[in-house]
Amino acid sequence: MRAGSVLFRFNTRSAMATAAAVAALALAGVWAAAAEAMPRKGPAGLAFYKPPKQLPKGHGKLIWARKAGGLVPLADAAATKLVLYTSRSPQGKLIAVSGSVSVPEGKAPKPGWPVISYGHGTGGIADICAPSRNAAGGPAQPYTSYIDPELNAWLRAGYAVARTDFPGLGTPGRHSYLVGESEGRGVLDIVKAARQLQRDRARGNIGRRFLLAGHSQGGHAVLFAAGLAKRWTPRLQLQGTVSYAPASHLREQTSLLPALTSPSPLSALATMILAGAATQSAAIDVPTLLSDPALGFYPQIDRVCLQQLSEPSSLGGIAPSALLRPGADTTALLAELERMNPAVRSSAPILIAQGKADATVFELFTNQLDDELAALGNDVTYLTYDGVDHGAIVSAAAADALAFFEARLPSP
């Protein structure tokens, strides 16, 4: 055999091998893209909330998803998925956060569904109180299902709805209750994660443009999210924020405690605020702050929800004036509460809705917050509603909120 023939065969085989390798790499790329397009299916039951040891790098990454059950699916949604996604604690630790995403009926518009990321009101800080675990007769049902008519109205109007549980609520670690930076990150990162759902199906496409809405605790959270959005999720486009009766001025409200001498459900809320602040500062030592009666009930905050904590047989049986230990050093606590005030600067317009008969979030403090937001240069619309209490503010302001949404991010 001549040397030229051998060389020819060698070159031919080499070329074929190279072509096969290129084809394999190309096919691997297709497989990788397909794997990326279809989210990993999450495990059934409560195992869904236990994240894998190795989390995806970066915040706003979808870990896994599955079909929602119980009372979580919204009646007017084409589909509602439970999601587990990454976020970061204020200390910078990569964490897993749970929530749900609902998409409207019909075909998504070309840029994807516009999104409303919703921050829920307080239901408790135990894992069983997470909105994505809502079930008939469940301990947090009264504090979760009341918002469903508004969420369904947003779906009918053509908006996808993303609902975070907030960090530590449903997932490992204590919930950082009313810690604005932590909750705000959870509100934003679920929008990023939602964009990774069903990207190969027109119905599931989620757009980059989004709105924020939240009530009470969630009203506080979405204000912080609005302040974080430009630097935390720069590829997303925030168009506006609706905050219903947001918690604010927690430090100032501690001065009211001595005057509240009758047992009250407010004691349950105050205790959870203390617990949330303690997640951010090692200098806040709960046993040295709470009175003995309050300390006896303190472990319940990790086991039951707000309705049970508010009962006379629990923290609701203690007067707010009797919550703190006489002579307790509150210096570290007050400093943390000051940082939890949602006076932020947002590049997008803000609507605040406040009931004038609200006995949980007092109008006085929301008035102050409105002044602070305006002084920071925010575009704020502040609406008050006569005779409306804390729970009724969302329905009372429903038409105004939807008009605000449609003016700033028209639905398809």
Give the model confidence (pLDDT) of 135-149 as tens digits. Answer: 999 999 999 999 999
How far apart are the C-alpha atoms of 274 and 251, rounded to whole Å? Answer: 11
The amino acid present at 394, given as its one-letter code, is V
The reported pLDDT for the residue numbered 91 is 85
How far apart are the C-alpha atoms of 52 and 7, rounded to whole Å? Answer: 53
The reported pLDDT for the residue numbered 38 is 67
Burial class (CB in 10 A: 0-12, 13-18, 19+), 15: exposed
Q: What is the model's pTM?
A: 0.90
Nearest Cα neighbor of 188 from 294, 267, 117 is 117
Question: Which residue ranges in the chain fall short of pLDDT 70?
Answer: 1-38, 198-204
The token pair at 100 is 């749900």
| SS3 at position 244 | strand
| Contact indicator for 78, 68 with CB cutoff of 8 Å | no
The reported pLDDT for the residue numbered 327 is 93
* 388 DSSP β-pair partners: none
Give the model confidence (pLDDT) of 84-103 as tens digits. Answer: 999 999 888 999 999 999 99
β-bridge pairing 77-88 and 62-67: antiparallel
The reported pLDDT for the residue numbered 90 is 83
| Contact indicator for 336, 280 with CB cutoff of 8 Å | yes
Tell me the C-alpha to C-alpha distance, in Å, between residue 148 and each of 83, 114, 247, 350. Answer: 19, 19, 21, 22
How far apart are the C-alpha atoms of 23 and 297, rounded to whole Å? Answer: 65
Nearest Cα neighbor of 66 from 43, 87, 50 is 43
The reported pLDDT for the residue numbered 1 is 42
